[in-house]
Structure 1
């Protein structure tokens, strides 16, 4: 049976110069279910309304191209999370694990799961830091950003950067070069 990977990217509240993870809140979840060759089989995307700071900073809106109206119309994470769990439930038997570009997404999920008292099936699956895996596979002295990694691989970023699903899909394009299995 072929094993699939879930590539996830999050967008979160922020300000120029950044905030500590503890002060950030998820505003968009993008997940791309892919075969080991990077081919997308299914996807999940939702906006999430933050609770502590429901108004996005102008920096955050400009960076992500997510509007305040999109966030105002979204549900909070506690309402979105069961939708994600139902979606992932149909794919669990084929999942080898999940990955993200760097470790931020895993840490942000774990923090928000604790904060909101949520359980996730992702917590039971192996997580791969694909940024580190790419650097290792390419024998780079230090990890690089997603756009730089794509350029090193001879690929161009497709879509809008700093949008969760598009970042996840672009990360997934690098899977065949990382050999996660």
Structure 2
């Protein structure tokens, strides 16, 4: 969590510390430095040094973290548009905990989808082997991958059942549908 106001950082940290490992800072450069160590990010748009806008843009560019913007303005009126959720200050404990829960579920979803894709590639590589007569029923490595995929699909199904429309919107906002690709 990164906010320019140390009192806000202290208050929000106290609300989260019982349930989550929390990293905090009041400095944008420090926030950028710890991005790789966190599962979800809450960032104030008015950070010292690197602005919250720079930090938020960096997070979105890397698409590595679920993020919420902390701001004093009403959602939708900010100068910069992010795919992130927005928490309007002063933040209530209930809205903070709900937002963090949403962010962590979305991050878990992204991790599960990425693992499914990796395992699907491994399955395809095994199925494409031409060096010998590949028999999926007899190949233990293939069976292990298929079992892991089945477990991941079950976990994804259970996780998606907890999603609301904002979670689905956030999941699809990060997709590159319709983006021009180089020829």
TM-score above 0.5, yes or no? no
Tell me which of the two structures has the higher relative contact order, counting C-alpha pairs closer than 8 angstroms and 6 or more residues apart. 1
Highest Rg: 1 or 2? Answer: 2
Structure with more of its chain in helix, by fraction: 2
TM norm structure 1: 0.25
